[in-house]
Amino acid sequence: MKNKSLFVIWILYYFVCVAFACIPNPQGPLRGLSLMLGLLFFVPGGILLARYCKTNNRKGLVFFRNLSLTSLGLTVLLILGNFMATALSETAGNLFQALLILVSVPMICCHGVWILSLFGWAIYLSVARYYLKNNKK
């Protein structure tokens, strides 16, 4: 499968995860499906990252490093903002939640098992940084 196809699949997974992240407190099989989709979100990216590592594609590795850093950093900021929004208004809380869904889709999609998603981003970041550091041209 070509890299372009994997990116398209990854983008489609993103939108499916957004839809499932918007379901408040799913129960039963829907919760399991949501968790599975949140974890499967990392498969196309993992395949791409493995290819970039194997071919020492610096541009791709930098992309994954920056994407992971951005997602993890914005997630932390938006979670803190969401907690601080409790002192403001419900509208501010809803705004932070909507932004958090867009930035951290697999985390929100997993509904309560968010640490798995953060672990996925951390793996992307660690692998990309390792290969960038050890395979300098």
The whole-number average pLDDT for the span 11-28 is 88
Residue 136: per-residue pLDDT? 67
pTM, two decimal places: 0.84
Longest dimension (CA), the chain: 51
Please count the structural domains in the chain. Answer: 1
The whole-number average pLDDT for the span 12-16 is 91
Interval 118-132: pLDDT, tens: 888 899 999 999 999
Interval 64-121: pLDDT, tens: 999 999 999 998 888 888 888 877 788 888 888 888 888 888 888 887 777 888 888 8
d(Cα 104, Cα 64) in Å, to the nearest integer?
Answer: 15
Q: Can you give the residue range of the structural domain that contains 69? A: 3-134
Q: For the chain, how far is it from start to end, CA to CA, in angstroms?
A: 27
Residue type (1 letter), 34 = S
d(Cα 36, Cα 34) in Å, to the nearest integer?
Answer: 5
Residue 96 vs residue 63, higher pLDDT: 63
In angstroms, what is the C-alpha Rg of the chain?
Answer: 16
